[in-house]
């Protein structure tokens, strides 16, 4: 097998959250074709326990560097003096830089795959024979621009600055690398518009979903009390777009919904709930679970999943998983932006609180005026079966890496 270097901003294991799900499946596919040397950061102490899993999977050398948030934030301040995005010095750890230089010297590595923009800085000046592919996943600079829209004062200026400087970095990376990949056709088109000089080397490969694991045909113990009418949101609850989504939906939609349906529940399932999320549990009908060992029972027995995201890029794994479980998904257009269009599912997409309220009410009572509520779940699973197989979608990425 040829040697390949894989660099990621976060250890690709365990695959329980969005970025790790994609990076894990990408890494696993690469190990079928190459002897992989893995360099990644660890920002959660518990993830260090999985070092042996990564070493066994990759078969090459591994370097997992512990990222201490406060030290990383101090490094990030260098960006103000070097006029770069703060994201880059945040991850510019000397131990990782040294390991990358040494691994390229010790092994006949001809290919490098970088996951997200930050680790690309370690291989910006590779030999001409080195094939370099970056999986940006999302246009992160656009996400920072979205953050700025909802802020004022210093925060607004800071987020705008990060958006501008990170876009400059993304363009520089894409110019030097052989290929730049994204998670969906819309994300790839957006980057081509923002960086027209990189259009020819810009592409995408879509996520997948494990249809056997996320299957509505399995038996799951019901986590809800008898008679409850649950709407469930799943995701990492210390991630700002998720925090914004649940707090907005709770106050603008659900509090009015629970007045009509006293047994309605808005159940927020996800690890590390931020203080703003924990406070929601004081409101009528809202439940905050924190971390759970398995999200599938919460999805399987919910009336519907909700994805009321106002800030989003790319593809939402929470939506793919809910659809794979055969649940209707009440979502904003942002949450559905990167998912392949299915006209029969769009009746459950809305952005205005009043429209979401009407649709949520319909889901709790069994359907809308066309009686399509119960049928929506199987239609969503059929969409996943048709378009979101990991093996099929990863084949495109493997072709790009091979060149």
178 domain-assigned: yes
In a domain, 221, yes or no: no
Domain with 10, as residue range(s), is: 2-207+389-402
Which run of H or of E encompasses 305? strand 304-307
**Distance from C-alpha of 383 to C-alpha of 388, rounded to nearest angstrom:** 8
Coil, strand or helix at 127 = coil
Instruction: Please tell me whether residues 71 and 138 are part of one structural domain.
Output: yes
Domain annotation covers residue 38: yes
Q: Are residues 255 and 282 part of one domain?
A: yes
Is 0.85 surpassed by the pTM of this model? yes
Q: Quick one: 110 and 248 in the same domain?
A: no
Q: Where are the beta strands (DSSP E) in 122-260?
A: 131-137, 179-182, 202-204, 229-234
Does residue 394 share a domain with residue 329?
no
Q: Are 107 and 167 members of one domain?
A: yes
More confidently predicted of 261 and 49: 261
Distance CA 166, CA 42 (A): 22
Strands (DSSP E) contained in 240-332 are 264-269, 286-290, 304-307, 329-331
d(CA 82, CA 178): 26
pLDDT category of residue 338 using cuts at 50, 70 and 90:
confident
- H helix runs in 92-238, sequence order: 94-106, 140-149, 153-176, 185-194
Write the pLDDT tens digit of every residue in 188-240.
999 999 999 999 999 999 999 999 999 999 999 999 999 999 999 999 999 99
Beta strands in 212-251 (DSSP E): 229-234
Ramachandran bin of 59, using left for φ above 0, alpha for ψ from -120 to 50, beta for the remaining angles: left
Tell me, yes or no, whether 396 and 275 share the same domain. no
Residues 254 and 328 in one domain: yes
**338: which 2 tokens?**
């990167």
Shared domain check, 175 and 305: no
Q: Which value, in Å, is the radius of gyration of the alpha carbons in the chain?
A: 22
Are residue 269 and residue 393 in the same domain, yes or no? no
- Is 144:162 a contact under the CB 8 Å cutoff? yes
Domain for residue 218, yes or no? no
Tokens of 33: 């074709």
* Local confidence band at 32 (pLDDT 50, 70, 90 cut-offs): very high
CA nearest neighbour of 22 among 200, 235, 156, 183 = 183
What count of other Cβ atoms lies within 10 Å of the Cβ of residue 173?
22
**Same domain, yes or no: 28 and 54:** yes
38 & 186 share domain:
yes
pLDDT single digits (tens) 361-381: 999 987 543 434 556 788 889
Mean pLDDT of 118-138: 93
Does 214 reside within a domain?
A: no
Same domain for 294 and 182: no
Question: Is 224 part of a structural domain of the chain?
Answer: no
> pLDDT tens for residues 255-300?
999 999 999 999 999 999 999 999 999 999 999 999 999 999 999 9
The answer to whether residue 343 scores a pLDDT higher than 50 is yes
What are the pLDDT digits (tens) for 374-402?
A: 567 888 899 999 999 999 999 999 999 99
Number of domains in the chain: 2
Q: How far apart are CA 146 and CA 152, in angstroms?
A: 12
Percent of the chain with pLDDT over 70: 98
Query: Does 353 reside within a domain?
Result: yes
* Within-domain flag for 213: no
Residue 288: give its domain's CATH number.
3.40.50.2000
């Amino acid at each position: 097998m040829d040697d390949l270097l894989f660099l990621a901003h976060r250890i690709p294991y365990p695959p329980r959250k969005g970025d790790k799900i994609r990076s894990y499946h990408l890494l696993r596919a690469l190990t079928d074709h190459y002897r992989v040397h893995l360099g990644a950061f660890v920002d959660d102490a518990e993830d260090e326990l999985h070092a042996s899993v990564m070493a066994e999977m990759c078969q090459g050398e591994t370097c997992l560097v512990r990222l201490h948030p406060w030290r990383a934030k101090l490094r990030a301040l260098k960006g103000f003096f070097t006029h770069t995005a703060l994201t880059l010095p945040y991850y510019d750890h000397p131990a990782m830089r040294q390991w990358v230089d040494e691994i390229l010297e010790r092994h006949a590595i001809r290919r490098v795959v970088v996951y997200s923009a930050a680790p690309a800085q370690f291989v910006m000046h590779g030999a001409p024979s080195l094939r370099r592919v970056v999986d940006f996943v999302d246009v992160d600079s656009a996400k920072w621009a979205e953050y700025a829209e909802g802020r004022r004062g210093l925060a607004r200026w800071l987020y705008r600055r990060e958006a501008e400087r990170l876009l400059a970095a993304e363009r520089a990376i894409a110019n030097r690398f052989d290929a730049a990949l994204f998670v969906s056709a819309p994300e790839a088109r957006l980057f081509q518009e923002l960086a027209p000089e990189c259009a020819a080397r810009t592409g995408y490969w879509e996520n997948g979903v494990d249809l056997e694991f996320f299957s509505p045909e399995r038996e799951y113990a019901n986590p809800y009390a008898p008679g409850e009418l649950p709407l469930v949101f799943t995701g990492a609850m210390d991630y700002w777009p998720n925090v914004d989504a649940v707090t907005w939906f709770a106050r603008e939609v659900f509090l009015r919904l629970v007045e009509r349906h006293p047994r309605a529940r808005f159940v927020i399932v996800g690890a590390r709930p931020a203080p703003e999320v924990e406070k929601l549990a004081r409101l009528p009908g809202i439940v905050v679970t924190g971390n759970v060992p398995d999200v599938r029972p919460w999805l399987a027995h919910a009336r519907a999943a909700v994805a009321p995201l106002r800030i989003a890029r790319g593809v939402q794994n929470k939506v793919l998983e809910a659809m794979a479980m055969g649940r209707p998904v009440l979502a904003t257009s942002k949450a559905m932006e990167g998912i392949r269009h299915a006209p029969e599912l769009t009746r459950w997409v809305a952005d205005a609180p009043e429209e979401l309220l009407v649709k949520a009410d319909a889901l709790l009572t069994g359907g809308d005026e066309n009686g399509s509520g119960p049928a929506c779940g199987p239609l969503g699973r059929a969409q996943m079966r048709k378009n979101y197989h990991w093996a099929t979608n990863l084949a495109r990425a493997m072709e790009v890496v091979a060149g």
